[in-house]
């Protein structure tokens, strides 16, 4: 049996951890939405400011998962935590910014170029946490519980003891990030099944909608 | 020269997205690539090359010069003055 021991939703207007909203977007703020969360949650990792939006979303949701479940850092060896990420648009948002940088700003930006691959977000998280486990980033037509079920099953039957999973779609003004932690142990947690994962995935959209109607 | 150094500090902050740093936080002799200084990395080094070309029209054609040129704001200002003279 496997468990979903923590989960985090990051949408256009809300950020929630284990279903509890931890940040709501302030449309009057001069800061970007991701920067608002970074400051509000008092994170201290200056490299955040240099990351592209995909990596910022991955950073914020994975750090919030760690806060919700500190065992992720203390209970495992550095090669026992795997990462399994996916999205639909790859790194398109940063690809477009990179094109813009050399078409309109006179010179291509090296710091944008390094983010023109979607799996860089996992590199950022691995560097920060000094994780050396397995990692995979897939580009899929949409969120698919089977993808996570099947790959987690393979990873956890090999050398991984926990899997940090994420659906990480950030394009223009559309944000749909759902990061969750799968562990072999977690007695009071949610059992990891296709149905429970589908239900949790929909929660972020509902919370975001509620905020918009509020 | 002093105006150029202040200008460089602002350009560096903008080009490298150093959002938690203001020009006043950077001394003229702060080491740019040391952990005791700004702690810049290899990607930042490429951004500095772009900065010199974008704002000052200077191409760094000898890579071996980079280490000394990008040591501090002082060395960058001196290099720009030397190349423009």
pLDDT band for A23, please (50, 70, 90 cuts): very high
In this predicted structure, the answer to whether residue A106 has a pLDDT above a threshold of 80 is no
**Mutation test of the interface with chain A: which of B12, B16, B18, B19, choosing the one with the most A Cβ atoms within 10 A?**
B19
Q: How far apart are CA A162 and CA A156, in angstroms?
A: 7
Dist CA A193 CA A117 (whole Å): 30
Residue B50 Cα, gap to closest chain A Cα (Å) = 7
- From chain B, the residues in CB contact with A109 under 8 A are 47, 50
Domains of chain B: 2-84 (1.10.1200.10)
Q: Which CA distances in Å does A90 have to A13, A93, A119?
A: 22, 8, 9
Whether the CB of A173 is below 8 Å from some CB of chain B: the reply is no
Residues of B in contact with A50 (CB under 8 A): 16-17
Extract the runs of DSSP E, i.e. beta strands, from A51-158: 81-87, 135-139
Q: How far apart are CA A2 and CA A68, in angstroms?
A: 18
pLDDT one-digit tens code per residue, A26-39: 999 999 999 999 99
pLDDT exceeds cutoff 80 at A212 = no
pLDDT > 70 fraction of chain A, expressed in percent and rounded: 100
| Chain A touched by B46 (CB under 8 Å) | yes
The per-residue pLDDT for A104 is 84
DSSP E strand stretches across A26-159:
81-87, 135-139
**Tokens for B23?**
């020009």
Q: What residue spans define the domains of chain A? A: 3-213
Inspect the interface and report whether the beta carbons of A49 and B46 lie closer than 8 Å.
no
Lowest mean pLDDT, pick from A40-49, A56-65, A154-163: A40-49
Across residues B28-44, what is the average pLDDT? Answer: 90
pLDDT exceeds 80 at position A146: yes
Predicted ipTM > 0.90: no
Q: Domain A3-213 belongs to what architecture?
A: 3-Layer(aba) Sandwich (3.40)
A32 neighbors A49 (Cβ within 8 angstroms):
no
- What are the tens digits of pLDDT across the range B51-74? 999 899 999 888 788 889 999 999
pTM score = 0.89
Contact indicator for B1, B81 with CB cutoff of 8 Å:
yes
């Amino acid at each position: 049996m496997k468990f979903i021991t923590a989960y985090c939703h990051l949408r256009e207007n809300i950020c929630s951890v284990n279903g509890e909203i931890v940040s709501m977007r302030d449309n009057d703020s001069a800061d970007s939405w991701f920067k608002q969360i970074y400051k509000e949650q008092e994170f201290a990792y200056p490299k955040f400011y240099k990351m592209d939006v995909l990596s910022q979303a991955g950073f914020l949701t994975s750090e919030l998962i760690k806060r919700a479940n500190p065992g992720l850092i203390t209970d495992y060896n550095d090669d026992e935590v795997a990462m399994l990420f996916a999205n639909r648009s790859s790194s398109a948002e940063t690809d477009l910014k990179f094109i813009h940088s050399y078409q309109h700003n006179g010179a291509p930006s090296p710091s944008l170029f390094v983010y023109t691959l979607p799996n860089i977000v996992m590199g950022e998280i691995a560097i920060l946490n000094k994780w050396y486990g397995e990692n995979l980033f897939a580009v899929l037509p949409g969120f698919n519980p089977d993808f996570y079920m099947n790959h987690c099953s393979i990873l956890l039957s090999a050398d991984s003891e926990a899997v940090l999973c994420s659906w990480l779609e950030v394009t223009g003004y559309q944000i749909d990030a759902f990061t969750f932690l799968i562990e072999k142990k977690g007695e009071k947690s949610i059992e990891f099944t296709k149905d429970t994962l589908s239900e949790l995935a929909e929660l972020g959209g509902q919370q975001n909608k509620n905020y918009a109607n509020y | 020269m002093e105006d150029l150094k202040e200008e460089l500090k602002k350009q560096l902050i903008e080009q490298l997205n150093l959002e938690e740093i203001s020009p006043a936080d950077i001394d003229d002799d702060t080491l740019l690539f040391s952990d005791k200084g700004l702690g810049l990395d290899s990607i930042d080094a490429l951004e500095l090359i772009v900065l010199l070309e974008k704002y000052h029209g200077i191409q760094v054609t000898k890579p071996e010069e980079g280490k000394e040129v990008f040591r501090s704001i002082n060395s960058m200002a001196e290099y720009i003055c030397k190349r423009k003279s």
